[in-house]
Chains A and B, each alone.
Chain A
Amino acid sequence: MTKDECKKVVLDIIADIAPDEDLTNVKSDVRLRDQLQLDSMDFLDIVMELRKRHSIEVPEADYIQLASLDSCAEYLTPKFNALSAKS
């Protein structure tokens, strides 16, 4: 998986949990919280959808890694790749 594909995965999840947000111009390097109305409940949902859909585990201490799309890609891409290498 590339980092761009990873960003797409995260955006797809956000689109499902916050269908009332406009995601067309989300900037990769800006904190998601600063450009979208996402609260802690929504971030919990991102984490849980990652687990449900992709079997990716994000421990609570790493939630901060999900701050922006760039940091998501940085943090999650290796996890996705490790997972596909295993299967």
Chain B
Amino acid sequence: MTSRSHYDVAIIGAGMSGLAAGIRLAHFGKRVCIFERHNTVGGLNSFYSIGGRKFDVGLHAMTNFVRPGVKGTPLTKLLRQLRITREEFALCEQKQTRIAFGPHGETSLRFTNDFAVLEGEVAEKFPAQIDGFRRLTAAVRAYDDVSLDAQPVSARTLVRQHITDPLLEHMLFCPLMYYGSSSEHDMEFGQFVIMFKALFLEGFARPFDGVRVILRVLLDKYRTAGGERRMKCGVKHIVARDGRAAALLLDNGDEITADHVISSIGAPETARLVQSGHRLQPAPVPGRLSFVETITILDRQPADLGWGSDTIVFFNDSAKFDYACPEAQVDPRSGVICIPNNFDYGPDQQLAEGIFRCTCLANYDRWAHLPEEIYRADKLRWYATLQKSAQRFLPKLPAPEALTRATVSTDMFTPRTITKFTGHLGGAIYGAAEKNRQGRTDLANLYLCGTDQGFLGIVGAMLSGISMANYHILAKA
């Protein structure tokens, strides 16, 4: 392969946003190269193999699902902009999701890809709140969430104007925060709106083969459009000169130049690359929210254990949901259970093995610097704790040992794993608390896309790449 030393656009990171930006730019004739430090694409939404098994990371479910014919939503915009057909993603819908609160999930709200289900649940369980819930929904629908210059407002403050029962408030915030909030305790209202639409008004789906399908489609489009990529070749430094990103110094020592540089690796992570005495202003602060996740592979379908109806369960063992970096290594009081077998794959196919995933909030600092032996022991200990915690919110097993007996393989990732494989400082999956909607930096030709630009989820990540490529480069050509 011939590698040039000058590109119209260089993209740092081959995650969802970088690939999407790359597809747009290559499609319209730009000479583009994506530089990726790892040997796989996908960034925060990728997969890995252990012992011949492929594990998805990141993706529990693709949010923003709408059925064919529904227009003007993020998914349809994304498909159009990347010239992807619905058949290529072949999305299968969730069965149902529950938000379960209380020591054993006594109060629960179910939702599906049909918004009326959630509305009905709120009306039944919180009859005094349903009018407020409908007003909140109307406010969400009316909000312009793709505006690139909206002013930040507290979502808690706005939601409380409509929802006066704190339990319902916490129950609504729980899934929205778990699936995208980079800030503790509260969200910016624009982010709340994006997540409310993505989860409640739209919904969850997944390709049968998981995140790999989405990545394969993106890579195919990018390659067909003529985009280049260099794997195992990260960017070590961005050389700043005269207020511009003048050159990129690569891990292998090569130097390349580009008219435009789009960085998808995060705002503080990008700032760290900038050299030559220039410091990006204002200095972005890494996010504090990180997670552990356990993955349990079963020798049977979860339905055989009585776990066949829930695709996802957001749980919290009390009435008040605390979304914050925990003091301890992990906060097992709340979390997210995902059972990928429980998407509707149709009558003729099911995943070969059972998969049971559980995600909880975690403290990066308490994982980052442990000696290897202690790190491994702590993983084992927390694995057991998470399993136990999560089971409180699922139907009772046929026998207490049924899960252990059905388990054929387990894995677990921690905040340390996240930083190691994605480069995100502090294991912060959702990036910095402060978002940069316009994606501008104080280097004139360096832009941000991805998590720290502020569109959330997988669909959001791709739309971020698209928007930044359009806004800063294609619309100006």
Contact = CB atoms under 8 A, between A and B. Distances in A.
Q: Which of A37, A48, A51, A60 has the most CB of B within 10 A?
A: A48
A44 B473 CA distance: 12
B80 A17 contact: yes
A20 B69 CA distance: 7
Interface string A33-75: 0000101011011001001100000001000000000000000
A78 to B, nearest CB: 23
Interface in B13-60: 27-29
A48 B28 contact: yes
A43 B68 CA distance: 22
Interface stretch (B71-79, B241-249, B339-347): B71-79
A17 B83 CA distance: 7
Given A20-B76, A41-B81, A52 B29 contact: yes
Contacts of A20: 68-69, 71, 76, 79-80
A58 to B, nearest CB: 12
A37 B28 contact: no
Given A37-B72, A52-B28, A18 B475 contact: no
Contacts of B80: 17-20, 41-42, 45
Interface in B325-340: none
B5 interface: no
Contacts of B475: 44, 60
B370 interface: no
Interface in B183-236: none
Q: Which of B72, B80, B470, B475 has the most CB atoms of chain A within a 10 A radius of its CB?
A: B80
Given A20-B76, A52-B28, A45 B71 contact: no
Nearest to B81: A41
Contact of B81 (A37, A45, A52): A45
Chain B interface: which size bin?
10 to 19
Contacts of A44: 470, 474-475
A19 B71 contact: no
A52 B30 CA distance: 11
Interface string A3-35: 000000000000011111000000000000000
Given A16-B83, A17-B80, A19-B85, A48 B72 contact: no
Contacts of B76: 20
B474 A48 contact: yes
Contacts of A60: 475
Nearest to A16: B83
Nearest to B467: A41
B273 to A, nearest CB: 30
Contact of B470 (A16, A41, A51, A52): A41
Interface string B436-477: 000000000000000000000000000000100010001100
Nearest to A37: B71
Contacts of B79: 20
Task: Pick the 9 closest A-B CB pairs, nearest first.
Answer: A37-B71, A48-B28, A37-B72, A18-B80, A17-B80, A52-B28, A44-B475, A44-B470, A41-B81
Given A17-B83, A44-B474, A45-B80, 9 more contacts: A19-B80, A20-B79, A37-B72, A39-B72, A41-B466, A41-B470, A42-B80, A48-B474, A52-B28
16 contacts: A18-B80, A19-B85, A20-B68, A37-B71, A37-B72, A41-B80, A41-B466, A41-B470, A42-B80, A44-B470, A45-B80, A48-B474, A51-B28, A52-B27, A52-B28, A52-B29
